[in-house]
Structure 1
Amino acid sequence: MDFYTLFKFLHVLAAMAWFGGGAVMLLQGLLALRQGDDESLMRVSGGMGNLALLWFLPAGGLTLLFGLVTVLLGNLWGEAWVILGLLGALASFVGGHFFLRPMGEKAAALIADGKLSEAAVYGGQMIRIAAVDYASIVAIIALMVLKPGWGDILALVAIYGALGVAAFLILGGKARLHPLGAE
């Protein structure tokens, strides 16, 4: 086995840990949001915040590190899927650091002040932003698997069109998550 294959394996393994762990947390958050239970929602949102430093950040960092080594060893710097994947990873980091982290801190402060229902508003927003982040990570995975070039307009439009539709439905569409049993 060569180093390229080894680092590609490590990259995929770290990406599985990053995506898989977050997908389970996101599912828990969506279910708590649908139940309309502020306490459950904040427990899940708080868990996401705790796991961000313990699991998501290290797994995401290792995914990036092993991916960069793989790109270096494979001399893939000019490939569209590599550049777009790196931009997607940057967007995920920016969303987590500049949106999710401050919202989590604000929610924690509200909980400390005994304002659970106000904190739950932030928790719901965090879940929606995390859902968009996961849609962008699916787009990154699509890039890594499909490996479109700059001329593969149809593939790029399909990937980013699906991401745009997902973001609209999650953040701005008329279809909102409602408590289970609500009409």
Structure 2
Amino acid sequence: MDVYTIFKFLHVLAAMAWFGGGAVMLLQAILAMRQGDDESLMRVTGSLGSLAMLWFLPASGLTLLFGLVIVLLGNLWGEAWVILGLVGALASFVVGHFFLRPMGEEAARLIADGKIAEAAVFGSRMIRIAMVDYASIIAIVALMVLKPNWTDILALVVIYGALGVTAFLILGSKARLHPLRAE
């Protein structure tokens, strides 16, 4: 076993922690939205803020760090999948820092003022944005696994076309998620 393989393992492990932790939180929020339970939704979105510094930021930072080590060791700087993956990671950081964090702070302020229903509006928007962010992370995973080069137009169109359609369906929908029905 070589150093490259060790860092590739650490990269994948950190990515699993980042994606898996967020996926569970996102599922909890979607279930709260479907149940129409504003208080549960706000508990979940509130915990997203505290977990951001404790879990998501370190896990995503380690994913990036170990990935950069792999790129250096493998001399992969010109590869399409590396460059596009880095752009995707930067986009995820921007979404989290400049959109989700301020929305979470505003929701927390509204909760402190006793305005749960208004805070839930922010919570619902946050979850929709987080859903698109997770779709973009899935696109990054597809890039890392498929490793398309600049001439693999079909693979790139499929990856980014699926991301675009997903974003349109999530953000373009004004309807609240429908409640789950026990049958």
Partner Cα distance (1:18, 1:123) in 2: 21
Structure 1 pair 176–155 and aligned structure 2 pair: CA distance change class (3 A): farther
Which residue identity is paired with 2:123? G
Structure 1 pair 159–37 and aligned structure 2 pair: CA distance change class (3 A): same
3-state secondary structure, aligned to 1:77? coil
- Whether 1:11 and 2:11 are equivalent positions in the alignment is yes
After TM superposition, give the deviation of residue 144 of structure 1 in Å.
Answer: 0.1
- Whether 1:63 and 2:94 are equivalent positions in the alignment is no
What TM-score do you get using the length of structure 1 for normalisation? 0.96
Partner Cα distance (1:174, 1:47) in 2: 25
RMSD between superposed Cα atoms in Å: 1.0
1:120: which partner in 2? 120
Q: Per-residue displacement from partner, 1:11-49 (whole Å, max 9, x unpaired)?
A: 000000000000000000100111111101101111111
After TM superposition, give the deviation of residue 176 of structure 1 in Å.
Answer: 4.7
1:109: which partner in 2? 109
Partner Cα distance (1:174, 1:129) in 2: 13
User: Is the 1:7–1:67 contact (alpha carbons within 8 Å) kept by the matching residues of 2?
Assistant: yes
Which residue identity is paired with 1:31? L
- Whether 1:169 and 2:169 are equivalent positions in the alignment is yes
Runs of 4+ in 1 over 4 A off after TM superposition: none
> Unaligned 5+ residue runs, structure 1?
none
After TM superposition, give the deviation of residue 174 of structure 1 in Å.
Answer: 6.2
After TM superposition, give the deviation of residue 175 of structure 1 in Å.
Answer: 6.2
- Whether 1:145 and 2:145 are equivalent positions in the alignment is yes
- Whether 1:130 and 2:130 are equivalent positions in the alignment is yes
Structure 1 pair 100–9 and aligned structure 2 pair: CA distance change class (3 A): same
Partner Cα distance (2:154, 2:76) in 1: 22
Partner Cα distance (1:173, 1:56) in 2: 27
Which residue identity is paired with 2:161? G
User: Is the 1:169–1:175 contact (alpha carbons within 8 Å) kept by the matching residues of 2?
Assistant: no
Partner Cα distance (2:114, 2:21) in 1: 30
What TM-score do you get using the length of structure 2 for normalisation? 0.96
After TM superposition, give the deviation of residue 105 of structure 1 in Å.
Answer: 0.2
Partner Cα distance (1:32, 1:14) in 2: 27
